[in-house]
Amino acid sequence: MDKNEFIEKLQRTLAGGLGSSQVAENVRFYREYIETEIRKGKTEEQVLAELGDPRLLAKSIIEANKHAGESYGSNREFDDEVTDNATARGYRGNRSIERRIMLPGWLMMVIITVLVILVIGIATSLISLFAPVIIVGLVILLIVKLFQGNTK
């Protein structure tokens, strides 16, 4: 199998489980990876042997995407791991998976609004709690200043 056959099989298998932008991104990544390894001195056969079966690689990518909870977007975590791993096997090994929770915009606005109201409520409660102490302190300070000013 040559590079073009490998990429074609990878692309067909990825198309069964990912969106077109993700397929294009992964195909581009593996094309560049193969070319980079060849420039480093490996033969095309060695690089393809390291990558293994393109269908298995594609299924690993699709599975990693499902476990990461992504139905769209980027395979940046996967690409970073492949770059670090240098064997480009398509699995995560012992690395931890970063999970990101994407909330709808309206829900974020509700959460932010509730937090702002909560902070304002706490601030006003503290001010109303300490206001009598502050007022008494200011009155005492004013009286002391008045008496100090009259004695001179």
Structure confidence at residue 89 (pLDDT): 44
Q: Which of 26, 6, 8 is nearest to 18 (CA)?
A: 26
Structure confidence at residue 93 (pLDDT): 45
Structure confidence at residue 105 (pLDDT): 83
Write down the pTM of the prediction: 0.45
* Residue 116: both structure tokens together: 């702002």
Structure confidence at residue 71 (pLDDT): 46
Spatial CB neighbours of 85, under 8 Å, sequence gap ≥ 6: 93
Structure confidence at residue 117 (pLDDT): 96
Name residues of the chain where pLDDT drops below 50: 70-95
Structure confidence at residue 41 (pLDDT): 93
